[in-house]
């Protein structure tokens, strides 16, 4: 017991089959999948507090042409004319390498490098460095903090205007308002797809019932999805659906050009909570998160380590 107590609370555990398990107190909270059999990497499951059930799912509950909806994933529909969103395309997002896994009592962090290619053998259009950090909260809740940097290989590159991209979340069937008993809400006190679609907000939440497999009892839980004000809009516009989908639209109103000498740094947060969506709790999570400095992956001078995380210097 003494040896077990000395282990960090939070862990990144690489697994066979190109997967990484992110754990708190020995229990998996989410898992990263980056096998070559998939057109892009993704997180699944995103486990509900005090449960072993996922709050997200693979695919649309009623549309077989939406198999590209894999739980939590990065993609964009129009990058320099290339469709990285659907599966009716040869475009691929591939993990080139992992950079670090860090275990600690207060967080587990994973950093990976991805390449966006117009075909498996094509030269990459851009590189995406992703830092995913799992942090425990009270009452078995947790946050998945996602920081990502996009760097084009050419002098510049355009994310064209589209509702689709760059971070998407497909919730479990029972959380959706159309197929289940869930509620879609946002930071501005709006509820439902008609009031939230395309509207500015700091965050959007999907909450609803999840059925426990062992007891068949239902518990209430949800996911609050935040976009950081440093992303370019304190109140960005959101693409949401009653069928159980939500995404913060990077280019809802206009295209966005990024340059090699000034990469695009984006920050998102998924707060996995018990009960219904609570604006007061969301506000506390927002305040704590936005006080945290941005981080970056740098070469490490420590023995037996190639990379480490450091705060991004402020101007």
* Tens digits of residue pLDDT in 221-245: 999 999 999 998 889 999 999 999 9
Q: Are 173 and 182 in contact (CB under 8 A)?
A: no
Q: Are 311 and 295 in contact (CB under 8 A)?
A: yes
User: Is residue 121 scored above 90 in pLDDT?
Assistant: no
Question: pLDDT, tens digit, for every residue of 199-209?
Answer: 999 999 999 99
Percent of the chain with pLDDT over 70: 98
Residues facing 157 on adjacent strands: 258
CA atoms of 271 and 144, how far apart (whole Å): 7
CA atoms of 290 and 302, how far apart (whole Å): 29
Q: pTM for the full model?
A: 0.96
Range in 91-100, 146-155, 215-224, 276-285 the model is least confident about = 215-224
Question: pLDDT, tens digit, for every residue of 213-224?
Answer: 777 788 999 999
User: Does the CA dihedral 243-245-249-251 come out positive or negative?
Assistant: negative
Burial of residue 215 (number of CB atoms within 10 Å: 0-12, 13-18, 19+): exposed
Pick the CATH number of 2-294 from 2.30.29, 2.30.30, 2.70.98, 3.30.300: 2.70.98
**Rounded average pLDDT over 5-24:** 94
User: So what's the pLDDT on residue 1?
Assistant: 45
User: Is residue 4 scored above 60 in pLDDT?
Assistant: no
Phi, psi at 47, each rounded to 5°: -80, 135
Q: Are 237 and 252 in contact (CB under 8 A)?
A: yes
User: So what's the pLDDT on residue 207?
Assistant: 98
Q: Where in the chain are the domains?
A: 2-294
Burial of residue 71 (number of CB atoms within 10 Å: 0-12, 13-18, 19+): buried
């Amino acid at each position: 017991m003494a040896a077990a107590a000395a282990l960090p609370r939070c862990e990144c555990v690489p697994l066979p089959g190109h997967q990484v398990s992110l754990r708190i107190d020995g229990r998996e909270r989410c898992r990263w999948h980056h096998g070559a059999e998939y057109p892009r990497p993704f997180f699944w499951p995103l486990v509900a507090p005090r449960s072993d059930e996922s709050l997200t799912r693979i695919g649309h509950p009623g549309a077989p042409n939406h198999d590209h909806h894999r739980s939590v994933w990065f993609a964009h529909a129009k990058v320099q004319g290339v469709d990285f969103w659907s599966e009716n395309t040869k475009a691929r997002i591939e993990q080139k390498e992992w950079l670090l896994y860090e275990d600690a009592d207060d967080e587990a962090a994973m950093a990976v490098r991805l390449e966006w290619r117009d075909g498996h053998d094509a030269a990459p259009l851009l590189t995406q460095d992703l830092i995913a950090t799992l942090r425990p909260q009270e009452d078995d809740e947790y946050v998945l903090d996602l920081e990502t940097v996009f760097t084009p290989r050419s002098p510049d590159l355009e994310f064209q205007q589209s509702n689709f991209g760059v971070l998407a979340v497909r919730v479990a069937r029972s959380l959706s308002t159309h197929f289940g008993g869930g509620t879609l809400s946002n930071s501005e006190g709006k509820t439902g797809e008609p009031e939230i679609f395309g509207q500015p907000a700091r965050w959007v939440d999907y909450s609803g019932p999840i059925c426990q497999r062992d007891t068949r009892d239902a518990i209430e839980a949800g996911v609050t999805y935040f976009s950081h004000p440093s992303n370019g809009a304190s109140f960005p516009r959101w693409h949401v659906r009653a069928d159980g989908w939500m995404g913060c639209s990077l280019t809802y109103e206009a295209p966005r050009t990024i340059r090699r000498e000034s990469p695009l740094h984006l920050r998102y947060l998924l707060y996995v909570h018990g009960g219904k969506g609570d604006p007061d709790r969301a506000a506390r999570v927002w305040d704590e998160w936005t006080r945290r400095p941005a981080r970056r992956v740098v070469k490490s001078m420590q023995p037996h380590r190639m990379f480490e995380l450091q705060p991004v210097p402020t101007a």
